Amino acid sequence: MSPTEINIQHTAKLARLQLTEEETARYQSQIAGILDYMKVLEAHADLASVEPTAHAMPVFDVWREDIPRDGFGAEAALSNAPRKAQGQFLITRVVEE
Amino acid sequence: MSLSESTIAQLRQQLKSGDITPADIIEDLHQGMEKANEALGAYISYDVEAALKEAETADLSLPLGGIPIAVKDNINVKGQPCTCGSKFLAENYTAPYNAASVDLLRKGGAIPFGRANMDEFAMGSSTENSAFFPARNPWDTSRVPGGSSGGSAAAVGANIALAALGSDTGGSIRQPAAFCGNVGIKPTYGRVSRYGLVAFASSLDQIGPITKTVEDAALVLNHLCGHDVRDSTSLKADVPDFTSALGQDLKGLRIGIAKEHFVDGIHPGIREAVDKAVKQLESLGATIVDISLPHTDIGIATYYIVAPAEASANLARFDGVRYGHRAEGTTELFDHYVKTRAEGFGPEVKRRILLGTYVLSSGYYDAYYVKAQKARTLVRRDFTEAFEKVDLVVSPTTPVPPFKLGAFRDDPLSLYLEDLFTIPANLAGLPAISVPCGMIQHEGVELPVGLHLTAKPLDEVTLLRAAHAYEQSTEWHKHRAPKL
């Protein structure tokens, strides 16, 4: 795989980012360069035989007691909403009339 | 010495004896703040009135009673803005809750005072990527203070903060601490709850203090650590008194020097300062042991796959629905997302989201992301093997001194390579500290150098013991940036 083949517009779509033509050209070249550098990983032949590490420390599921407690109320949850109405987040219509 | 030039340890004595009040400290800090901040861009915002109000009820019997501490602007303090250095949260976000670390600091008596500047969403090594204004180095304002906690380090370095919280994903506490002549410690991953820290790369991020001295770092650390049920990565580990090991000598301590850390490309002045520091540690009783960390060369590549991958997932929450910026005039949902995010994020954040999305995307996941996770295993294994022979690993904190603003504007890869020495501790989850170890003349200015020490998991006590013994045997921590 050659990093120059990156389809930056497709990646931007997956990332939910709109890019200008100038940004597309710039990121295309910069990300290709960065990915090219990642080939340094190939130099270590011992890589294939090891287990991947997602976390340096052990991670466990966390359970709490099933008891009532104060939580984040609707008012607090909506306090930073860009738009709100009737105690709910107001967003762009997703259902056609 | 003015109150703002003092250490926390010194001020605690004066507060206890009644010579000063918490309000005196805040007013003294505030006196030089406006002018210094204009020159340095260390704070994005601060609220003197609110801090003074808190100072009125400060409990001076508590260990940090009445001590103001600056907070990096990606850590939530209830009722205060939390911009993450981004336009996304600049206009209308007020934190509705406290981060666990802020709750603990308050429990210890501290007063959160000031929102420290940072690279947007903690992505960067220079604090040039703040959406508001770049932060500058107090030793030379044409240079960067490091990043991403550059505002925190600049504020401490310029005596407009006594101490500050930072977050460290690949060196973002230690590198700016080194660049500004401060002490910066990244605790073991999981030691400090990440609840309320706006996530960048969840498996790497860790909150820690930037301070003037090792003793202050230990004092603050005492009030940051502890298990938190709200963070699934929080460790159930005893929290020792981190000040307990201060003042001990280094007899019996084995310090490892890895040949891979002393390669071409290190500034000769930094190399010389670190060589002298190693000799100093030896003279204090430590035994120097040659070790090898053979996968040092793949740390950066590993990090710059893992961190953007996690960032691309974490930053998906910034969609303009529940908080933050929202693009105007969109008519359907996809358009709403792409325009909102295009307007809200800056160039470095977009670059890392794209990189992260790419390495996680179908077809490239195994080639990049899984490979990086395997490389992470090797980096971690290197340290496990090294710590069978030694108690600490020592290296420079940075390969080069603070660089000029804009030096790497169009060359992100070269900037990424600056994190060579700090990244492995994040990949392996280890505690590490940077402590001042010299001053070098570089391009006509005097700039600080940092010594980097890494310890075994949960062994911050040994880290602080060695750093403190070294610090107290030299004068470097007494060098302060020139007054602005």
CA pair distance B138, B482, nearest whole angstrom: 7
Local structure of B272: helix, strand or coil: helix
Distinct helix (H) and strand (E) counts, chain B: 15, 11
Local structure of B291: helix, strand or coil: strand
Q: Quick one: pLDDT band at residue A1, thresholds 50, 70, 90? A: very low
In B117-225, DSSP assigns E strands to 163-168, 183-186, 206-211
Which DSSP string do the residues of B326-389 spell out, in sequence order? --SS--SHHHHHHHHHHHHS-HHHHHHHHHHHHHHSTTTIIIIIIHHHHHHHHHHHHHHHHTTT
The per-residue pLDDT for A59 is: 77
* CB distance B377 to B330 below 8 Å: no
Mean pLDDT of chain B: 96
- Sort out which chain A residues have CB atoms less than 8 A from B413's CB and list them: 30, 33-34, 37
Whether A2 has a pLDDT exceeding 60, the answer reads no
Range picked from A86-90, B171-175, B261-265, B409-413 for highest mean pLDDT: B171-175
Q: Do A41 and B416 touch (CB under 8 A)?
A: no
Report the residue of chain B nearest A10, measured CA to CA: B358
> Among the listed ranges A41-55, B23-37, B384-398, B416-430, which one has the minimum average pLDDT value?
A41-55
Identify the residue whose tokens are 């002298």.
B276
User: How much is the ipTM here?
Assistant: 0.93
The per-residue pLDDT for B116 is: 98
* CB distance B245 to B464 below 8 Å: yes
Known active-site residue B202: no
Q: Quick one: pLDDT band at residue A71, thresholds 50, 70, 90? A: confident
Number of Cβ atoms within 10 Å of the Cβ of A67: 5
Whether A43 has a pLDDT exceeding 90, the answer reads no
Bridge partners of B288, per DSSP, are B255
Tens-place pLDDT, residues B316-366: 999 999 999 999 999 899 999 999 999 999 999 999 999 999 999 999 999
In B177-313, DSSP assigns E strands to 183-186, 206-211, 254-258, 287-291
Total-model pTM = 0.97
Identify the residue whose tokens are 């107290």.
B472
Interface test with B, best of A53, A62, A72, A90 (most B CBs within 10 A): A53
Average pLDDT of span B37-48: 98
Average pLDDT of span B283-296: 97
CB of A44 less than 8 A from some CB of B? yes
- Which carries the bigger pLDDT value, residue A52 or residue A58? A52
* CB distance B69 to B165 below 8 Å: yes
Known active-site residue B193: no
Name the residue facing A59 among B232, B298, B333 (closest C-beta).
B232
Q: Quick one: pLDDT band at residue A3, thresholds 50, 70, 90? A: low
CA pair distance B129, B120, nearest whole angstrom: 6
Cα angle B438-B442-B445, degrees, rounded to a multiple of 5? 90
Q: Do A11 and B357 touch (CB under 8 A)?
A: yes
The per-residue pLDDT for A6 is: 86
CA pair distance B77, B342, nearest whole angstrom: 27
Residue B62 CA: distances (Å) to CA of B217, B219, B220, B270, B475: 17, 12, 12, 40, 30
Cα angle B229-B233-B239, degrees, rounded to a multiple of 5? 70
HEC letters along B218-242: HHHHCCCECCCCCCCCCCCCCCCCC
CA pair distance B237, B232, nearest whole angstrom: 14
CA pair distance B454, B181, nearest whole angstrom: 18
The per-residue pLDDT for B458 is: 97
CA pair distance B123, B348, nearest whole angstrom: 7
Number of Cβ atoms within 10 Å of the Cβ of B60: 14
Tens-place pLDDT, residues B247-279: 999 999 999 999 999 888 899 999 999 999 999
Tens-place pLDDT, residues B166-189: 999 999 999 999 999 999 999 999
Tens-place pLDDT, residues B202-218: 999 999 999 999 999 99
Fill in the DSSP letter of residue B256: E
* CB distance B254 to B286 below 8 Å: yes
Q: In 3D, which of A2, A4, A52, A66 has the Cα closest to residue A29?
A: A4
Whether B92 has a pLDDT exceeding 90, the answer reads no
Number of Cβ atoms within 10 Å of the Cβ of B4: 22
Q: In 3D, which of A28, A15, A82 has the Cα closest to residue B334?
A: A15
Tens-place pLDDT, residues B430-459: 999 999 999 999 999 999 999 999 999 999
Whether A4 has a pLDDT exceeding 60, the answer reads no
CB of A45 less than 8 A from some CB of B? no
Whether A49 has a pLDDT exceeding 70, the answer reads yes
Which DSSP string do the residues of B415-453 spell out, in sequence order? HHGGGTTTHHHHHHT--EEEEEEEEEEETTEEEEEEEEE
CA dihedral B468, B473, B475, B478 (to 10 degrees): 30
Whether A55 has a pLDDT exceeding 80, the answer reads yes
Report the residue of chain A nearest B341, measured CA to CA: A17
Name the residue facing A56 among B364, B371, B380 (closest C-beta).
B380
What percent of chain B stands above pLDDT 90?
94
* CB distance B274 to B396 below 8 Å: yes
* CB distance B360 to B315 below 8 Å: no
> Among the listed ranges A48-62, B120-134, B428-442, which one has the minimum average pLDDT value?
A48-62
The per-residue pLDDT for B121 is: 98
Report the residue of chain B nearest A41, measured CA to CA: B298
CB of A64 less than 8 A from some CB of B? yes
Cα angle B27-B28-B31, degrees, rounded to a multiple of 5? 85
The answer for residues whose C-beta is within 8 angstroms of residue A89's C-beta and 6 or more apart is: A78, A81, A83, B321, B322
Q: Max Cα separation, chain A? A: 60
Average pLDDT of span B38-62: 97
Average pLDDT of span B370-394: 97
Q: Do B305 and A30 touch (CB under 8 A)?
A: no
Known active-site residue B172: yes
